[in-house]
Amino acid sequence: MKYLLDLIGNEIQAAFAACGYDTTYAKATISNRPDLCEFQCNGAMPLAKSAHKAPIMIAEEIAQRLKESVLFETVEAVKPGFLNLRLNKEALSEYLSNIAKDEKLGVNAPEKVKKIMIDYGGPNVAKPLHVGHLRSAIIGESVKRLGRYVGHEMIGDVHLGDWGLQMGLIITELKERKPDLVYFDENYEGEYPSEAPFTISELEEIYPTASAKSKEDEKYKEAAMQATYELQHGRRGYQAVLAHILDVSVTDLKKNYENLKVSFDLWKGESDAQPYIADMAKKMQEDGYAYSSEGALVVDVKEETDAKEIPPCMILKSDGASLYTTTDLATLVWRQQDYQPDQVIYVVDKRQELHFVQVFRCAKKTKIVPEDMELTFLGFGTMNGKDGKPFKTREGGVMRLENLVADTNKEMYRKIVEGGKVPQEEADQTSKTVALAAIKYGDLSNQASKDYVFDVDRFTSFEGNTGPYILYTMVRIKSIMKKYQEQGGKVECGNIMPAKTEAQKSLMLILARWNEVVENAFADLAPHKICAYIYEVANALNHFYHETSIMGEEDETKKAGYIRLLNLTLKVLEDGIEILGFEAPERM
């Protein structure tokens, strides 16, 4: 379905052409002065010089043509050369009626369905999720949902940190505590136990203990490095321990991500890239891309246009060990081999940008991926506390993500119980639903690349640009529609009628932009644009609600039209929050 703004633009182009003017200047924009007009075209002013006419003369000439169009209610030429337009109410209601009949509300299927892999989450196994993992998880989840909504094949990969020294540290500490475990017997050739020799709580305690020891005890660190080397070179017992670490960690991670309504199609990790590293490095050397530098294997990735120095991309360290660049490149090898994606999007901390510049350039230069594969870096800023510094606990430590969620649930529960509109037996679940909206909307309403302050008091408010405010608006619509149904009405039977008030028309004009907003938000990988839009919808709906006697309307046809408009508004808001990754309760 064409965007409303494009339909208006087509009419303006036709008028420019009919008057003999260059249609390049025939562009429609939403007016920034809604008190004067709804749309405008300023093309007469830049056109004046080449047309050898005063801008107002050109605008008046075009206005006369546009007045013949059934799309406009009023067309006015205003000095020095503005074209001010108001949309015909019948044309607007017809456009919205067509949108309401479409499952995606006018969002067009892409010309080419792309297979897009999205790398987000990135937790380390054997460690609890902390607040630093929040942004990658919920931004990535929203981008994935947004891509699916517009019609692309989206594949989400958690990309676990499950390799390197941290694994060697865990193995070393486990060996010290339980040296008789069969995993440490080099001569053992049988099957290893199916049950892990530790719980998730024990595992989460083992790693920091081992890490602390390695910083104080050089022999302990050397043992951990040796364990890492043996793990990476195929020692059976250590690989069995790794399998247990992954099983226990992933089970816990899935539970925590599920509480955030975040899910992944693939649970691959750095360890999955290891089988590809040797052949990849060998081919890079054989093809003349990789060379030895002080014992390390590197690939030059600098370009003549670089404003600052871009260091070579290191493939292997001098001792033959791999790095993050190595595993990221090898991950691209298996992604290309198994999936042949059109695009790979990385949702990671913006401070890793240089790393991904090196990885992307190296991947293209060494032909690991096809030249036309898009590699996209979506860097996010820091979640800060009210002091403007990275979010910490009161004791100054890194806060576990589940504790942040629990604290927000607690504050939301208090506000909902004090409100007194939700039965006690529903309050707990309702508070969790609204708290998740508060957290996700509070984060996603900010442009991903920007730092922001996590403010529980503000995020859980029922007023202002917050998740609870959006949900409260939806609950209000549900309440009205329920009353209408209880009186025998059917919410989808009426037609969307031409607007009778400015508040109604304003709401309708905003709803008509849904398809354009969604498609642009995905093109820019910008969930914050969905937040800004649904906040605008909620404000317009509440303004319309306060100015209009909906259930008190005596004309049943008009009342049915109002309800149909409310139903469309609810559908837009429901689709919006589904993209953002949360849902609305029945009451608040």
- The pair of structure tokens assigned to 227 is 């364990």
The pLDDT value recorded for residue 430 is: 96
Domain membership of residue 529 as a residue range:
401-580
The pLDDT value recorded for residue 504 is: 97
The pLDDT value recorded for residue 459 is: 97
In a domain, 490, yes or no: yes
Say how many domains are in the chain: 4
Q: Are residues 569 and 433 in the same domain?
A: yes
Q: Look at strands 383-384 and 452-453 and give their pairing.
A: parallel
Q: Are residues 500 and 358 in the same domain?
A: no
Residue 340 dihedral angles phi and psi, to the nearest 5°: 45, 55
The amino acid at residue 186 is: E
Q: List all residues 6 or more positions away from 402 whose beta carbon is below 8 Å from its beta carbon.
A: 128, 129, 256, 259
446-473 burial by CB neighbour count: b if 16+ within 10 A, else e? bebeeebbbebeebbbbeebbbbbbbbb
Cα–Cα distance, 38 to 513 (Å, whole number): 13
In a domain, 102, yes or no: no
The amino acid at residue 432 is: K
CATH of the domain at 48: 3.30.1360.70
Where helices occur in 178-322 by DSSP H, the ranges are: 200-216, 218-232, 236-259, 270-286
Q: Look at strands 296-299 and 313-316 and give their pairing.
A: antiparallel
- The number of beta carbons lying within 10 Å of the beta carbon of residue 204 is 17
Cα–Cα distance, 416 to 423 (Å, whole number): 10
In a domain, 28, yes or no: yes
In a domain, 535, yes or no: yes
Residue with tokens 């050089």: 218
Q: Are residues 411 and 514 in the same domain?
A: yes
380 contacts 348 by C-beta, under 8 angstroms: yes
How far is residue 112 from each of residues 108, 120, 271, 376, 522, measured CA to CA in Å? 11, 24, 33, 18, 14
Q: Name the packing angle between helices 324-339 and 270-286 (round to 10°).
A: 90
Q: Are residues 567 and 475 in the same domain?
A: yes
The pLDDT value recorded for residue 576 is: 98
Task: Answer with the one of 241, 259, 277 that is the final residue of a domain.
Answer: 259
CATH of the domain at 353: 3.40.50.620
Cα–Cα distance, 460 to 357 (Å, whole number): 38
Task: Answer with the one of 236, 259, 282 that is the final residue of a domain.
Answer: 259
Residue 261 dihedral angles phi and psi, to the nearest 5°: 55, 45
Q: Are residues 548 and 493 in the same domain?
A: yes
Residue with tokens 């891309």: 289
309 contacts 340 by C-beta, under 8 angstroms: no
Q: Are residues 328 and 244 in the same domain?
A: no
Per residue of the chain (588 residues), give pLDDT as tens: 999 999 999 999 999 999 999 999 999 999 989 889 999 999 999 999 999 999 999 999 999 999 999 999 999 999 999 999 999 999 999 999 999 999 999 999 999 999 999 999 999 999 999 999 999 999 999 999 999 999 999 999 999 999 889 999 999 999 999 999 999 999 999 999 999 999 999 999 999 999 999 999 999 999 999 999 999 888 999 999 999 999 999 999 999 999 999 999 999 999 999 999 999 999 999 999 999 999 999 999 999 999 999 999 999 999 888 899 999 999 999 999 999 999 999 999 999 999 999 999 999 999 999 999 999 999 999 999 988 888 887 777 789 999 999 999 999 999 999 988 888 889 999 999 999 999 999 999 999 999 999 999 999 999 999 999 999 999 999 999 999 999 998 887 667 999 999 999 999 999 999 999 999 999 999 999 999 999 999 999 999 999 999 999 999 989 999 999 999 999 999 999 999 999 999 989
- The pair of structure tokens assigned to 27 is 């562009």
In a domain, 394, yes or no: no
CATH of the domain at 453: 1.10.730.10
Q: Are residues 412 and 529 in the same domain?
A: yes
Q: List all residues 6 or more positions away from 404 whose beta carbon is below 8 Å from its beta carbon.
A: 131, 134, 391, 439, 454
Q: Are residues 283 and 150 in the same domain?
A: yes
What is the rounded end-to-end Cα distance, in angstroms, of the chain?
36
Task: Answer with the one of 199, 226, 259 that is the final residue of a domain.
Answer: 259
Q: Are residues 321 and 441 in the same domain?
A: no
Cα–Cα distance, 535 to 469 (Å, whole number): 8
In a domain, 98, yes or no: no
- The pair of structure tokens assigned to 461 is 């408010």
Q: Are residues 428 and 477 in the same domain?
A: yes
Helix, strand or coil for residue 273? helix
Q: Are residues 329 and 467 in the same domain?
A: no
The pLDDT value recorded for residue 424 is: 86
Cα–Cα distance, 280 to 316 (Å, whole number): 11
Cα–Cα distance, 354 to 537 (Å, whole number): 39
In a domain, 563, yes or no: yes
Q: List all residues 6 or more positions away from 547 whose beta carbon is below 8 Å from its beta carbon.
A: 501, 503
Helix, strand or coil for residue 379? strand
Element (H, E) at 313: strand 313-316
In a domain, 560, yes or no: yes
Q: Are residues 325 and 370 in the same domain?
A: yes
- The pair of structure tokens assigned to 407 is 């604290």
